[in-house]
Structure 1
């Protein structure tokens, strides 16, 4: 099917790492989950973000997630699409020049990119948002504006597509966000009819 690069890191959001990784594998994609300074077999710790009525999300320690590829060995030219997860990891991942160069490759080649929540911080740092319409966790909106992008405020369970880019505010948008990413990848999930025999 498709080769997908998934960028994560320590204290990336749990659902925003696990769900896209497993779902894309489920439909037959080859998904390589990577983190700078880590190798295949290394683990990252995730964070669970929840919406419990306070003015912002709460954060709890999540699961350990095992990476299946080595960041220093990846070649972005070999991938059909990029997934950037949210959580706290993007705030430090965006400081890595190689991360930013890889992201720029996907935009230069107009390959599908899906970013969620705080993952958009990596896009703002890569300076690839000029003239683009997108959403993010609301606290990231000022960064989008400063990066010359157009922030679109949407309900937390919805996504925004602009050309090769799909964005969403947070993990409640997974059904729409992932469906939109599959669309721009050119993938369709179809029903397989089975017949019963005695």
Structure 2
């Protein structure tokens, strides 16, 4: 027959082990609430402008995910409301039409490229207005792939170094930009990038400017 004393000792030991295991878990493995220092862009608003059809998926996905992870609020604008579709099948809900965009409400405007850009964004007066107002108001203005063409049309690349997908090179030059064959170019608060292969560096450059870097 096991004595009451032995049973009590075993029970105490088991409780001690359980408490130690819990303490170790809470110290090393328990989910922790995000700290403010890990969300440097908290409170900032970023507007992504996409072609309603055939924007380039990676060019949106990389900065969208990174900036949201850092605490920014993200919004999508296009030429119409509904569900915009990327070249590779990515679907995003459009929050605003271009004519509804109030630039003053955002900290950054990001133009996404893709083969739909010439049809939906080039020579689009509202897209050009947004780019020009964002620049004049000191916002971060970014564009990738074919989308730097919109910045060129807005006149904000004149005399500045910029890059873009090779088929937009001549357009940038015609509008007075100094075209450089680099993946990502930062000039003041303007970020331009070549294409999907530069999407992650593009995202990081935007994040750095927004965080004051």
Residue 3 in structure 1 maps to residue 45 in structure 2: yes
Deviation at 1:6, TM superposition (A): 0.6
Whether the 8 Å contact between 2:98 and 2:126 is mirrored in structure 1 is no
Deviation at 1:95, TM superposition (A): 2.6
Other-structure match for 1:44 = 84
Q: Distance in 1 between matches of 2:206 and 2:142?
A: 6
Deviation at 1:180, TM superposition (A): 1.2
Whether the 8 Å contact between 2:48 and 2:75 is mirrored in structure 1 is yes
Secondary structure of 2:95's partner?
Answer: coil
Other-structure match for 1:193 = none
Deviation at 1:70, TM superposition (A): 4.4
Secondary structure of 1:115's partner?
Answer: strand
Deviation at 1:12, TM superposition (A): 0.7
Question: How many residues are treated as equivalent by the alignment?
Answer: 169
Q: 1:163 aligns with which of 148, 172, 188?
A: 188
Q: Deviations over 1:101-156 (max 9, x none)?
A: 111011112211111111112112222211110111112111111010000112xx
Whether the 8 Å contact between 1:91 and 1:122 is mirrored in structure 2 is no
Deviation at 1:91, TM superposition (A): 0.8
Q: Distance in 2 between matches of 1:153 and 1:16?
A: 18
Give TM-score scaled by structure 1 length: 0.79
Calculate the aligned-residue CA RMSD, in Å: 1.7
Residue 113 in structure 1 maps to residue 156 in structure 2: no
Residue 123 in structure 1 maps to residue 155 in structure 2: no
Secondary structure of 2:192's partner?
Answer: strand
Deviation at 1:30, TM superposition (A): 0.9
Distance 1:145 1:169, change over 3 A: same
Deviation at 1:94, TM superposition (A): 2.3
| Structure 1: gaps spanning 5 or more residues | 49-61, 189-198
Q: Distance in 2 between matches of 1:114 and 1:74?
A: 16
Other-structure match for 1:83 = 110
Deviation at 1:187, TM superposition (A): 5.6
Other-structure match for 2:56 = 13
| Structure 2: gaps spanning 5 or more residues | 1-41
Q: Which has the higher helix share?
A: 2
Whether the 8 Å contact between 1:21 and 1:33 is mirrored in structure 2 is no
Secondary structure of 1:45's partner?
Answer: strand
Give TM-score scaled by structure 2 length: 0.74
Q: 1:66 aligns with which of 93, 98, 105?
A: 93
Whether the 8 Å contact between 2:104 and 2:137 is mirrored in structure 1 is no
**Which is higher, the Rg of structure 1 or of structure 2?**
2
Q: Deviations over 1:15-74 (max 9, x none)?
A: 1122222222222111111102x23xx1011114xxxxxxxxxxxxx2322223444432
Secondary structure of 1:33's partner?
Answer: strand
